[in-house]
Amino acid sequence: MPWNTFDRDRAHLEAQYHDPPWDEASGWSLHRLEDAVAQLVHDAEARGEPRIRTKARVFELLLRHGRIEVDPRDWFGDRLHHGNLVRKLRDRWTAESRQTVLAEVNAEAAAAREVGAYISGPNFSHTAPDWERVLALGPAGLLRHVRETRERRQASGALSAHERDFYDAVETVYAAFIGFIHRLAEGAAQQAERHPEHGERMLALAQCLRNIATRAPETLHEALQLAYLCHELMEMEGESVRSMGHFDRLYYRFYRADLESGRLTREQAKELIKYFFIKFFARTDGLQYGKNFVFGGIDVDGTDAVNALSYAAIEAYGEMRTVDPKLSIRVHEGTPPEFLRQVADCIRNGCTSFVLVNDHVGIGALVKRGVPEDEARTYVLMGCYEPAIPGKEVPCSGSQWVNIAKALEWALYDGIDPLTGRQMGPRTGACEDFASFEEFYAAFRTQLARLLERAMQVQVAFESCWAEMNTSPLLSGTMVDCVERGRDISAAGAKYNNTGVCVGSIASAVDSLVAIRERVFERGDIPLRALADTLSGNWADNELLRLKILSGREKFGNNREGPDALAVEITDLVARIINSTPNERGGRFCAALNSIDHCLRFGRAVGALPDGRRAHEPLSKNLSAVVGMDREGVTALINSVTRIDFTQFPNGSVLDIMLHPTAVQGAHGLDALVGLMRSYFAQGGFGIQFNIFDVRTLREAQQHPERHPNLQVRVCGWNVHFVNLSEAEQNMFIEQAEHLPA
């Protein structure tokens, strides 16, 4: 076998999707495909054909007739010139729904986004198949199960029209899937003849593809090849596969069998993993949200899931030093210390594409949501930080982001948005009407409750049209509940069908409330009306008061009773409202505490705040303190954050930690980093992620990007190269690094 080639091929592999040399003899031109799809859709719509059937037939057409290309320098085959025609069809159907039956609610969502209140819309981007079934059955086995289930259900009673449409569509796409694999196998065999220097690899790939077309995978190569094909075709279908599952649990049996049989050595398996991982970076040039792989955690039987493959894969990733994929590490009391040290060593050496999460909290939150504990132990992070049950759940975990700082603005201005003058919230009273902080705080709570309730009502409306916008027969065919019920995921066929609501700007809201309580109602430095007027003028007439507020010690993130108690009260309210609200798909809304990069987007639409922030500046990010306000160190920050009960947030949460490189140097520094992780989890925190920065390096990278092309930064729930961030994003990290103790 041709091994030890990854480093030589890496530059080529990273650019593999830039301009593939499509084999013209292998299929139709893109123009011909476009015409054929347009005609197929036109005829189907003229007949009134259900959209799930139409989409399946478009998918089939592209897999049968689209041009392919097999790279002779790659271990994997996947490339199909499909022109994103299925997604374009989905986008057309979605636009039609937005413009017709959803026109009113779409306008409301657009207005809310414009003023920075919330982001809401159809969420097709947080999905994952049942990876265990995919690898256990292969596409042929999945197709067989669908046919057998259909026959059994048909024998026990008539199928409804919707059920027949579903089964027909699933059979269509899986038959096309199998045919496409055979096409790739033939392409690999042809490449072996054309490129004899790569012949051994291409013949191995051809056999790998033939095998997975007819049976379940039996080797690591076959399993990885099938997983990547599933990923590509499900994204082609119109979804975004936001979890690749538990890497060490899914692939360990293949890895172990290969090593025991002598098919692979450990180093060869690592190289194969590198070829696999690099495809996810190459797909987007590392510029999007990253592909999530989960490692470790408590297994179904209660034991630790870390195994030999866990170490080998993290080692391979550390040697690659790429920004994508992103790796999620599930941690519990029984996580091996050496594994946690391996991860921490990667992080301190600049590989920041890790989030670590607390298994006890994650599992506890899911159990509280109603998931049996054995199922809860199988959770993955769907997207960034959102626990979900693989193969049984369509969580729509990124459906909504809500900015609670906007509720504070509306409480100050009687429901009027100050930057636009629109009446966005309920009338809760003019500033001069509040005789005490308790009265103002009640107005804030009313605004917040109404903001959350209305955002969820809007999302319910969007979900009601999902089946008309994006059916998913390929993805649904992997899920037992969908197949047994004869229902697509868009028709709530999965066992769990929940909807995430992510809430951000906690610290900005808390610090603003503390400033109002202290400066207006306790000290009497300024009347509330005068403060509101000062904020309308962006602090221009009272810079001294702004500086006094900024220099105050009562800030969230400093282990202070007052601010932290407010944070607990607010997050308790948020959790209670969100988690008790049913969605459109037979599930419930699930609360999360994260803002991702919407702290910038929302900040641009928010005026000056009482915490001293000027208009349009970024808001606090995720669970972090306002930048520069956590003056008592990382331990105090953790103490503040972990007062919150994170089992109330089944859709996840995360704390960003930035450390100076000197804090993690040497053996003692590594021990300190691991100890910090353990301390956060011992106190009940859920997700935590790190950046290890020297502000001088960041400034130099901003001014001379050519000197630091590979400097990584964990932005939010994903990782990128620092030089690819916008100037505003770079400045946010630079400002935070300026406050680090050297």
Dump pLDDT digits (tens) for 22-50.
999 999 999 999 999 999 999 999 999 99
Confidence at residue 741, expressed as pLDDT on a 0 to 100 scale = 75
Query: Is the pLDDT higher at 731 or at 203?
Result: 203
- Looking at the fold, whether 365 and 434 belong to one and the same domain comes out as no
Structure-token match 């001088």, residue found: 696
Indicate whether 542 pLDDT > 80: yes
Find residue 680's DSSP bridge partners. Answer: none
- Looking at the fold, whether 611 and 595 belong to one and the same domain comes out as yes
Give domain status of residue 389, yes or no.
no
Last residue of a domain, one of 603, 627, 651: 627
Give domain status of residue 397, yes or no.
no
Give domain status of residue 722, yes or no.
yes
Cβ(323)–Cβ(720) under 8 Å?
yes
Q: Which strands form 400-403's sheet, in the order they lie side by side?
A: 118-120, 400-403, 499-504, 589-592
- Looking at the fold, whether 350 and 424 belong to one and the same domain comes out as no
Q: Of 697, 635, 709, 666, which is closest to residue 349 (Cα–Cα)?
A: 666
- Looking at the fold, whether 49 and 189 belong to one and the same domain comes out as yes
Query: How large is the average pLDDT for residues 136-158?
Result: 96
- Looking at the fold, whether 510 and 480 belong to one and the same domain comes out as yes
Give domain status of residue 277, yes or no.
yes
- Looking at the fold, whether 138 and 277 belong to one and the same domain comes out as no
- Looking at the fold, whether 349 and 441 belong to one and the same domain comes out as no
Confidence at residue 125, expressed as pLDDT on a 0 to 100 scale = 81
357: part of which helix (H) or strand (E)?
strand 354-358
Confidence at residue 304, expressed as pLDDT on a 0 to 100 scale = 98
- Looking at the fold, whether 228 and 270 belong to one and the same domain comes out as no
Q: What is the mean pLDDT of the chain?
A: 96
Confidence at residue 288, expressed as pLDDT on a 0 to 100 scale = 87
Query: pLDDT for 318-359, tens place per residue?
Result: 999 999 999 999 999 999 999 999 999 999 999 999 999 999
- Looking at the fold, whether 82 and 115 belong to one and the same domain comes out as no
Question: How far apart are alpha carbons 160 and 143 in whole angstroms?
Answer: 20
Confidence at residue 225, expressed as pLDDT on a 0 to 100 scale = 98
Q: Of 240, 220, 74, which is closest to residue 135 (Cα–Cα)?
A: 220
316 band by pLDDT with thresholds 50, 70 and 90: very high
Last residue of a domain, one of 212, 237, 262: 237
- Looking at the fold, whether 52 and 111 belong to one and the same domain comes out as no
Question: How far apart are alpha carbons 642 and 688 in whole angstroms?
Answer: 12
Confidence at residue 736, expressed as pLDDT on a 0 to 100 scale = 85
Query: How large is the average pLDDT for residues 156-185?
Result: 97
Question: How far apart are alpha carbons 443 and 448 in whole angstroms?
Answer: 9
Structure-token match 């797909």, residue found: 283
Indicate whether 496 pLDDT > 70: yes
Q: Map residue 354 onto helix, strand or coil.
A: strand
High-pLDDT (> 70) share of the chain, %: 100
DSSP of 33-79: HHHHHHHHHHHHHHHT--HHHHHHHHHHHHHHHB-EE--TT-S---E
Whether the model pTM is above 0.85: yes
Query: How large is the average pLDDT for residues 425-436?
Result: 96
Indicate whether 549 pLDDT > 80: yes
CA-derived radius of gyration, the chain: 26
Burial degree of 107 (CB within 10 A; 0-12, 13-18, 19+): exposed
Confidence at residue 287, expressed as pLDDT on a 0 to 100 scale = 86
How many CA atoms does the CB half-sphere of 249 hold within 13 Å? 25
Instruction: Give residue 317's domain range.
Output: 252-290+307-372+660-742
Q: Of 198, 206, 242, 285, which is closest to residue 17 (Cα–Cα)?
A: 285
Number of structural domains in the chain: 3
Indicate whether 679 pLDDT > 70: yes
The C-alpha angle with vertex 363 and arms to 357 and 365, in degrees rounded to 5, equals 95
Question: How far apart are alpha carbons 449 and 402 in whole angstroms?
Answer: 11
Q: Of 79, 725, 678, 23, which is closest to residue 331 (Cα–Cα)?
A: 678
Burial degree of 209 (CB within 10 A; 0-12, 13-18, 19+): buried
Last residue of a domain, one of 575, 607, 627: 627
- Looking at the fold, whether 522 and 617 belong to one and the same domain comes out as yes
Indicate whether 742 pLDDT > 80: no
Residues 6+ apart with CB under 8 A from 632: 557, 558, 559
Indicate whether 1 pLDDT > 70: no
Q: Of 335, 352, 404, which is closest to residue 594 (Cα–Cα)?
A: 404
Indicate whether 2 pLDDT > 90: no
Q: Which two tokens stand for residue 504?
A: 């951000």
Indicate whether 137 pLDDT > 70: yes
Confidence at residue 689, expressed as pLDDT on a 0 to 100 scale = 96
Give domain status of residue 515, yes or no.
yes
Give domain status of residue 452, yes or no.
yes
Query: How large is the average pLDDT for residues 678-707?
Result: 94
Query: How large is the average pLDDT for residues 160-171?
Result: 97
Give domain status of residue 637, yes or no.
no
- Looking at the fold, whether 564 and 689 belong to one and the same domain comes out as no
Question: How far apart are alpha carbons 333 and 304 in whole angstroms?
Answer: 9
Give domain status of residue 465, yes or no.
yes
Q: Which two tokens stand for residue 621?
A: 């990010």
